[in-house]
A and B are shown apart, each in its own frame.
Chain A
């Protein structure tokens, strides 16, 4: 006889087992291990909420402390491998298989464990890809999530870092899974309901507030004149020329410099209102001067940023906020916004090859992808026109009926020719290829594929790859902005000058930019303290960024 309710009955049994350690839905922090051992079954698919920013750290410590005799061979499906416990569980045998997106701080250890065979890797995904698979073939049996507070019925307030939580809960709770939330405190009434209580089975009052890393704070004091020069070129040669209003920025210093130049250099160029009005972006502190100067109309966020809560609450016209006043972020929706509703992605990378493939992988680190490959790709499912999208489309195609041409998303790489410790950014061959061979990956971990990249900006100039008509032109355009790296010195001078004459390569002087004008005096804020002043005292930077 066909069994139609097997999963549902298993779920009921897990919850019944868990109730032994709970008072209603509420579980004390010291009973976490008992709860997890009661609810989990060997081989379960488990999402241990590790997001880009917030971490279900109390539940992570609990999982790592489980008895591998009872809880073993789990298949972890989570976007972020961030905490040491996320990998400890693979060393003890509690977990066996892994599908994930991003492993920034654990990149070196994950590479070692993959190489040593301690982790069976499914794949490294972009955020949207992994979220998509939650609903198709990687649906969690158990989700361990994090929020700021909950009531005794399980109604959950995530706080400003909503991030992945709604997506994880949606996939788990509606497909016979069990959802366990850790919260900083149990309250009578939550400030707002981010996740309704009937989707949460257990609530753990954590011993300490969950951990959030300030990933998106760039200290203006550390910005260099080279970064400022590159930012000036990007504003004048790309933002202004294409009229980019809807965009996403990466997290590097180059894009932070652009944010700080809008109220000064951008103002001087008369671009206010013409560019940078609508954003898919985390609440970058360096965007405060542009917001305060009236450049920005609205910002939708993937997550929040430590110290920005009061500022965001005071600017509901700009940010998406709940009835309680605090930010509501959502990674899945913001990634979708970045993919379909933005005309440009601009970010940095560690290596670019002669074709324009780029990667943030070095020989000993697997940092994962996060959202950049999604933001930094040309969405073929897009159908609505916009001026920048159409202009880029025209530049990229030379034949055919204009009514049948699709536009192009601008995907811009903003790099210095030499990175930290004078390591060249431009290379003949990406380290990612070597790493893929070493640890047996079927696909080399490429962050942004060459055919998605439209522009590369360095201190030597802008290469517009849309205007290149064959592979040789493309290679010379890249060499032509690669400075004194080996790749740059290997250029064909005559060809590069020809490309420059055609406007494929543009130098600062071609854009009317005097490199000596690239001065820190142009930054709207030169320090974190300046950002605090711009915010009217509302921005509260974490201690590691203060110098007062």
Chain B
């Protein structure tokens, strides 16, 4: 495991953004509690990539297993953004779907999904798309069984494409400043709509539109963390404790929340306009705020917290 040798494994010091999937899982869980299913030694690799003369990963870019979080049993899946941008392929998706289905029998306190993905792997797009649909279906079943599914987003690849759709079906999401959540990526939007509509090289624009702070302010994410593993652990514990029930009332509340959001902000040209309408005094200052100042800002925004999802 490159990097583990010198990198800090202290959860307070370990940057979520910098860490590998395996480093995140190990440092997130109670010490020594993580047990991996289908580890790299099992060699469950993509059957498709060799057709394209592309290198494979022994774990197909996702780490799944069981662990304890503050003594409670949880199931964990972590995507490896450094392998093909954390994209969903057939094996990658099957490992995630299998883990979610196992939750129905194992009845953990929660399932944690550590997203770090650009979406579906183009080289195995059909299998990847299928995996996205199966994952969403499995999450619905798990949530219906009363088990919260918590998404943690703060990796380099963000949470895009099908990953963004799956995140939308989770009970609760935690995000850091570097984390991004969206469906179409910046380059895709620019390619289809032109640089005047969305300049993908203007990274400040990208983060204002898709980044962690924006998602938290509009209630798309339910917790905002500093970029450390311990902050994500704390957020996960907190969100498990306050996950909404999965019933008709919750879904209707979510529908109402999204409808009012589009009605209120649909004509905004930039995220700063949305923040201003949300009541943020100095919306231009949001990107540069540190976590404490941002938390205070969030606490004054009514829409950031809700019972829906």
Contact = CB atoms under 8 A, between A and B. Distances in A.
Interface of A: 221, 225, 514, 516-522, 526-527, 543-548
Nearest to B14: A521
Nearest to B6: A519
A548 B204 contact: yes
Interface stretch (B103-111, B138-146, B205-213, B300-308): B205-213
Contact of A519 (B5, B201, B206, B213): B5
A517 B5 contact: yes
Contact of A520 (B3, B177, B202, B213): B3
A282 B292 CA distance: 35
Given A519-B7, A521-B7, A547 B203 contact: yes
A544 B3 contact: no
A515 B252 CA distance: 55
A545 B207 CA distance: 11
B206 to A, nearest CB: 8
Contacts of A543: 202-205
Contact of B203 (A514, A521, A544): A544
Main secondary structure of the interface of A (DSSP, over half): helix
A547 B3 contact: no
Interface of B: 2-3, 5-8, 15, 17-18, 156, 177-178, 201-207, 211, 213, 287-288
B26 to A, nearest CB: 16
B293 to A, nearest CB: 13
B21 to A, nearest CB: 15
Given A221-B156, A521-B7, 6 more contacts: A518-B6, A521-B8, A527-B17, A544-B201, A545-B203, A548-B288
5 contacts: A225-B3, A521-B6, A521-B7, A543-B204, A544-B201
The 9 A-B pairs with the shortest beta carbon distances in the complex, nearest first, are A519-B6, A516-B5, A543-B204, A546-B204, A543-B202, A521-B7, A546-B203, A517-B6, A548-B287
Nearest to B211: A548
A225 B82 CA distance: 13
Contacts of A526: 15, 17-18
Contacts of B178: 527, 547-548
A417 to B, nearest CB: 17
Given A519-B7, A520-B18, A547-B211, A225 B204 contact: no
A196 to B, nearest CB: 39
Q: Which of B178, B203, B207, B211 is packed against the most chain A CB atoms within 10 Å?
A: B203
A518 B3 CA distance: 8
A24 B110 CA distance: 77
A135 to B, nearest CB: 40
A338 B2 CA distance: 38
B2 to A, nearest CB: 6
A397 B234 CA distance: 64
Contact of A548 (B3, B15, B213): B213
A521 to B, nearest CB: 5
A504 to B, nearest CB: 29
B6 A516 contact: yes
Contacts of B213: 548
Contacts of B3: 225, 519-520
Q: Which of A514, A527, A544 is packed against the most chain B CB atoms within 10 Å?
A: A544
A462 to B, nearest CB: 21
Q: Which of B15, B18, B156, B213 is packed against the most chain A CB atoms within 10 Å?
A: B18
B251 to A, nearest CB: 33
Nearest to B289: A548
A518 B201 CA distance: 30
B78 to A, nearest CB: 18
B207 A546 contact: yes
Nearest to A517: B6
Nearest to B206: A547
Nearest to A544: B201
Nearest to B156: A221
Q: Which of B3, B177, B211 is packed against the most chain A CB atoms within 10 Å?
A: B3
Contacts of B287: 546, 548
Given A520-B18, A526-B15, A526-B18, A547 B207 contact: yes
Given A516-B5, A521-B8, A526-B18, A548 B207 contact: yes
